[in-house]
Structure 1
Amino acid sequence: MKMTTPSLAGKVCIVTGATRGIGKGIALQLADAGSKVYITGRTLEPVKNSKIGGSLLETAEEIRKRGGHCIPVLCDHSNDIDVKSLFEQVEMENDGRLDVLVNNAYSAVDTVIDTIKTDFWELPVDYWDTVNRVGLRNHYICSVYAARLMAPRQHGLILNISSSGGLMYMMNPVYGIGKEACDRMAADCGHELEKHNVAFVSLWPGAIRTEHMVEIFENGDAEKLASMPMEQIDSVRRTLKKTATPEFVGQCIAAMANDPNVMKMNGKIVLLGDLALRYNLKNKEEGHEPSDFTRVNFLLEYGGFDRLAQFVPNLVRIPKWIVHLGSYKFF
């Protein structure tokens, strides 16, 4: 069932890392909204005996069944030649047009989870590249190529999929440094793109019910859970049952791409919950909504105070200037 009203007809979009999870959800919704979507990933064919699955052809087939237009492109985002070829293909096939780029590709989910309890100086020095070559460096490279297409046309939207790990300690230093850099990329690149009417935004989706998260925390991936502190496992399990789905992230991004005032968000960090409020969107699955850490009731649920959380309305939120103070950057 489509969740959006077609409103992006004629638009050209790229979603990196769209074989599953958030990237797939975004691709599905952008296609549902009428846009032509280029999806990238390293896995073309379905993988046999995979617990979480995911391939370009599977995503493309689902888009096709729903009446959308999708072009799967096999692309290793750690390979600069592959990335350059992707944008050359998009430019050639669309007369230089590109309306939306979603930098979502990330190749280190398992690596980061497996090393949560390991201090950074005990990790191999190439750990930085494992985590941030695709999740940070590639975002910048894709953004350069996208900006070269968007700026001359005075139109476009670039999104980095980031997280609150850029604000405070999360997982490990290398993960946090990468996420904060994604946020700063949106701010500084957005500053230069503003005169060209191109918006660059860093989106924090929060916890999302991806196949990977469900497999680990709900189906009980013992090997992955063994590497995590028990209190963190309990907190994630409590919130994951109610958090938004990957397609809801896509629904919000489709609304952003159709927003005539999207430039107001340029260079900013945007929370998924704020987009849901701005566009009056609801997750199609009953009882699911964005995990918004500025909502007091969400924080209470995350801390295990479910009963108390029921008495606190969603509108009771922590001001973002207070959240910013939690970044502990200044002496």
Structure 2
Amino acid sequence: MELTGKSACDRLAADMAVELKPFNVVSISLYPGIIGTEHFHRLVDDNLQNTESNLGVAEKGNSSVRILDKFNWETHLFVGRVIAALFNTPDLMRRTGKVHIVAELAARYGIVDEYDCRPASLSSIRFILPQGLPMLKAKFIPDIRVPWWIILLTLLTSPTI
């Protein structure tokens, strides 16, 4: 269901780009990563406390440990800085109708968050590998992007019934 919603928004941005281009209006679809909202912080902190008390720290070897570690979270300020940089891009009209990943734009514009960090792209092996192998430390993994078509064929397969 979530992929259908994202696809619909992507299609809407592309269609709006065609309709609005004569008026010099840009329409893009942005993909932020995991946004660390206050509510999400509370949920994760509560879940982490429950996991540690019920399962023990040694048993937390699944992929959800990456989220519990707040791995690769983006902040509101980070996303805002990327949007501001994108808005001030002289060739912004060239980007209309396309999907853009916030972390990739941040890398292009040299943007970091308030903690001087730049999260990895959702399509980077620095983000993907630790999801499946939580024992890997992301700082030792190169930030190489994987083409979306490979991700769609391998990682984002439809559930079987």
TM-score, normalised on structure 2?
A: 0.76
Alignment of 1:134-173 (within 5 A): 173=1
Tell me the alpha carbon deviations over residues 40-91 of structure 1, each in whole angstroms, 9 at most, x when there is no partner.
xxxxxxxxxxxxxxxxxxxxxxxxxxxxxxxxxxxxxxxxxxxxxxxxxxxx
* Match of residue 255 from structure 1: 85
Contact 2:121 2:145 in 1 (8 A): no
Contact 2:72 2:127 in 1 (8 A): no
Q: CA deviation at 1:244?
A: 2.0
- RCO higher in structure (CA 8 A, sep ≥6): 2
The answer for unaligned runs of 5 or more in structure 2 is 51-60
Q: CA deviation at 1:321?
A: 4.0
The structure whose Rg is larger is 1
Which of 245, 256, 259 is the equivalent residue of 2:75? 245
Alignment coverage as a number of residue pairs: 146
* Match of residue 40 from structure 2: 213
Q: CA deviation at 1:221?
A: 8.7
> Structure 1 residues 301 and 221 mapped into 2: Cα distance closer, same or farther (>3 Å)?
closer
* Match of residue 96 from structure 2: 266
**Equivalent-residue separation in structure 2 for 1:221 and 1:247 (angstroms):** 25
> Structure 1 residues 320 and 178 mapped into 2: Cα distance closer, same or farther (>3 Å)?
closer
The answer for unaligned runs of 5 or more in structure 1 is 1-172, 224-229
- Residue 7 of structure 2 aligns with an amino acid whose one-letter code is E
> Structure 1 residues 243 and 209 mapped into 2: Cα distance closer, same or farther (>3 Å)?
same
**Equivalent-residue separation in structure 1 for 2:77 and 2:91 (angstroms):** 23
**Equivalent-residue separation in structure 2 for 1:193 and 1:301 (angstroms):** 40
Q: CA deviation at 1:264?
A: 1.6
TM-score, normalised on structure 1?
A: 0.39
Tell me the alpha carbon deviations over residues 128-163 of structure 1, each in whole angstroms, 9 at most, x when there is no partner.
xxxxxxxxxxxxxxxxxxxxxxxxxxxxxxxxxxxx
- Residue 9 of structure 2 aligns with an amino acid whose one-letter code is C
**Equivalent-residue separation in structure 1 for 2:126 and 2:9 (angstroms):** 28
* Percentage of matched positions with identical amino acids: 34
**Equivalent-residue separation in structure 1 for 2:33 and 2:109 (angstroms):** 18
Structure 1: which 4+ aligned runs deviate by more than 6 Å? none
Which of 1, 6, 10 is the equivalent residue of 1:183? 10
> Structure 1 residues 242 and 294 mapped into 2: Cα distance closer, same or farther (>3 Å)?
closer
CA RMSD of aligned residues (A): 2.7
**Does residue 233 of the first structure (1) align with residue 60 of the second (2)?**
no
